[in-house]
Amino acid sequence: MNNYTHAVDAQRRIAIPAEWRKREGETSFYLLPAKEHIVQLIPKETFYEQVIRKAQKMSLADARQLRDLALCASRAQNCICDKQGRIQISQLLLDHGGYKDKIVRVGAFWHIQLWTPEHWAAANQDEDNNYFDVMQRINEIPGPMESR
């Protein structure tokens, strides 16, 4: 997992560490805005499992669900790593995150979060984000075989 700080180049690109990319074939991600000025970088396969499959169950006859789909899709960005392992981030998502010249990439188990160095440093100083408390909260979430 880990975390890495990387400069944003003039073409709005950041490098994705080799350990987060596929060894063979293209590596594709979806970028989505999240709360607290975070951008989520979700591997294509995971995006399909976690988002597309659920979205496909929404009714095309329901006006609210159509608006919800359009709102989310209009902010999502598909990106493919270039030969140097870089992705380009849209200006919309750079603005959402408040990113300037550096981005902290944080492995978050099944996806990657993009933070500003300042927000990441502040989050790590917050008492509520104590590592052991966080692991306890994760452990309390029912698994797929447990009833909810």
> Quick one: pLDDT band at residue 126, thresholds 50, 70, 90?
low
Q: CB of 4 within 8 A of CB of 17?
A: yes
The residues, any chain, with a CB within 8 Å of residue 44's CB and separated by 6 or more, are 28, 29, 30, 78
| pLDDT reading at 148 higher than 60 | no
Joined together, the tokens standing for residue 71 give: 């709102």
Would you put residue 123 in left (φ > 0), alpha (ψ -120 to 50) or beta? alpha
CATH homologous superfamily of domain 3-139? Answer: Transcriptional regulator MraZ domain (3.40.1550.20)
8 A C-beta contact, residue 107 and residue 124: no
Mean pLDDT of 76-101: 94
- pLDDT value at 31 more than 60: yes
Both tokens of 15, joined, read 């490098």
Look-up of token digits 């159509």: 66
Measure the CA–CA gap between 65 and 115, rounded to whole angstroms: 30
Please report, for the chain, the start and end positions of each structural domain, with discontinuous segments joined by +.
Answer: 3-139
**What are the tokens at 39?**
């951008």
pLDDT more than 90, % of the chain: 52
**Which residue would you say has higher pLDDT here, 114 or 107?**
114
pLDDT recorded at residue 40: 96
Determine the Cα–Cα distance for residues 93 and 108; give it in Å rounded to an integer: 19
Name the pTM for this structure. 0.82
pLDDT at 142: 85
pLDDT at residue 26 greater than cutoff 80: no
Q: How much is the mean pLDDT over the chain?
A: 88
Residue type, 5: T
> Higher confidence at residue 14 or residue 126?
14
